[in-house]
Amino acid sequence: MKTLKLSVALMLLGSLSFLLAEVEVDAQIEALKTATPQERVRLMNEFKTTLSTLSQEEREAAIEQFRSSMDAQNKQIQSKERIRERVRVNQMDEVRERQEDQRMNQNQIGSQYIQQNPSVTPDMSGTPNRFMNK
């Protein structure tokens, strides 16, 4: 009977320590996600210390949890960066289109001016009716 009580107490103690370790690991992972770079170094060292106190199974579970959490965070960051890059490229394309439209308008206005004022002679060094010579 004593052996049974002792076994049950040890199993209960083991499962309780496992749950407490899991809660502590969860809290440390969450803190790592939002930490500044300087804090992240300190928190990562604490996380490693916590891992060293865990059993092999607990350690594997904690490391897997950490990896999956960081993978999800990295995917979000990559997605945001892709969106920013797309926006930047679209803005650059828009600027190029505006510049081209502006050049075309300037050339068109210059050509109209030359047609309306035949006494003005454009610089005919290559392309006729090109006001800006570009």
The answer, yes or no, to whether residue 98 has pLDDT greater than 90, is: yes
Cβ atoms < 10 Å from Cβ of 35: 14
Quick one: pLDDT at residue 23? 64
Using alpha carbons, select from 127, 131, 134, 100 the residue that is nearest to residue 113: 131
* Residues in CB range of 82: below 8 A, 6 or more apart: none
Decide: residue 25, CB within 10 A, 0-12 exposed, 13-18 middle, 19+ buried: buried
Structural domain boundaries in the chain: 1-54, 74-134
pLDDT per residue as tens digits for the range 12-50: 555 545 445 566 778 888 887 787 888 888 888 888 888
